[in-house]
Structure 1
Amino acid sequence: MKLKSHLMLDSKKRSGILLLVVIFCGCWIFYFWSSRNKTSIEPNAEIAIYQARIDSLKRIKSVKSIPKIYPFNPNFITDYKGYTLGLSTEELDKLFSFRQKEKWINSAEDFQEVTGVSDSLLAVISPYFKFPDWVTNSKTSQTTKSFSFKSFNPQNDLNKATFESLISLPEMTEGSARLILAYRKKIGGFIEDNQLYDIYNVKRNQVIEVKKEFTVKSKPVIVLINVNTANASDLATIPFLTFDIARSIIDYRILNEGIKNLDELLKIDGITPYKLDRIKLYLSTNQ
């Protein structure tokens, strides 16, 4: 009976105990809710920080992965070089087909005409085009050769001949006239009349008719390429010199400690006396 009396509570005590239990449960619920909220926020903040770092590293890597463009001769673009420049396969095929005909690109306009690249892409890559000195005439330190007029010759100037004046000649066709004008543009102007014989698909009798009416009077100023210092790309821009022959010239130059006389080039495979006569028009030894 005495033990039972201790467990007997009046209504006020029961209400107080109930209130205390409610307060305790509320504190317990608030504690676990705030702890869970805190743990869910902190990882999200850490993830955001790490993600920002990853994005920053990706941006740095993408910038570094963009290839740097160095000056180059557009006549010697490879498949990989064309890919890095943004040229399509079709545009590269047009360039390779043009070069296989032993034709040369001498300006940004020629490059666009041959490949068909867009104006926007041309504007990006054309500032890096590097043409040989004899095309651009930009280096004044090299030996220059100037030619005088043949005032005694009554013929018309071959370097000023027009399409209309050429097709008016006997035996001349429109196709051959265009080939003559295209070759004149390619080499920067005729230096001597016999260069007409170098034009592929122009017949001998057509050349004879041209030489009756025209001759070279206003010869261009030629910046001679020094055979002892030029690289293979510059040598390969000279008529009749392929890139392989240019490499052979450099190898011969290294083995013999320089080239003292241009006639030594006859020792190189692929160079004949006929070709040497033309090559001499654009080379010097500076000896």
Structure 2
Amino acid sequence: MKKSRLRFSKQERGGIFFLLFLIVLLQCIFHIIKSRPVSPESQFLVDNVQQVRIDSLRKNLLVRDTVRLYPFNPNYINDYKGYVLGMTYEELDRIYDFRKLGNYVNSAAQFQEVTKVSDSLLGTMVAYFKFPKRKNYHKQATTYSKNSDSHSIKPKDINLATAEDLKSIYGVGEVLSARIIKFRNRLGGFVVNEQLYDVYGLEQEVVLRIVQKFIVEQPPKIEKLNINTASAQELASLVYIKKSLANQMVKYREEKGPYQSIEDLFNLNGFPINKIERIKLYLSL
């Protein structure tokens, strides 16, 4: 009787069972991994990679289309300049609508208030802004006056106005008039009309009504602080600079060397870029 060739030895049978067990185990592991949901962290990483690619493409597009820009009056910005600087059509439409009413922006902060551009975008744009000289702030106030019922009244000096004077403005009551006086005292006097926008709780419409009757006629004499020599304590004495920011300003120049321009301050964490036009009034190189 012939011995069957299909019979396996005990050692061969053990090997076959081990191989089958290994195949089943790998199949189980595969199905378990496949059925597990993708973690939010991995999704975030994928989105982040895509965002970097999008940002890179946008940057390349801007570089390709960018021409050399020279300082200009942002009141006369056009679609092309706005596009090159990174503005959206919605942001451009806001400044166009503002100008159609015969209004003008006189500072980067006011430009941001009208267009709603972000702080980071404003920081890249201010280097190209060239506003009219300060005497035009009075011209703007006169323009508002011509469009009001009180156009025949010559505006008075805001630095001489009393709380009672200010309460004659519609929208300014006991609280706001006191805040305006308090803020004016902290400044040592308003230097430009736009500083009224920095009074807490004072709406843009109310400011426009104020400058119909009160403008900066006699600005105080400002002894500017040199940002390369002033101490942290001196810098922190300014309304627009907090103590923590003043310490950063001093630390930055100690580590990096003297500031080359006021715009170097944009490198500091938490620097109020939207207030740069006001801050420039009190600082020098």
TM-score category by the smaller chain?
0.3 to 0.5
Which of these two proteins has the greater Rg computed from alpha carbons? 1
Query: TM-score, structure 2 length as denominator?
Result: 0.46
Query: TM-score, structure 1 length as denominator?
Result: 0.45
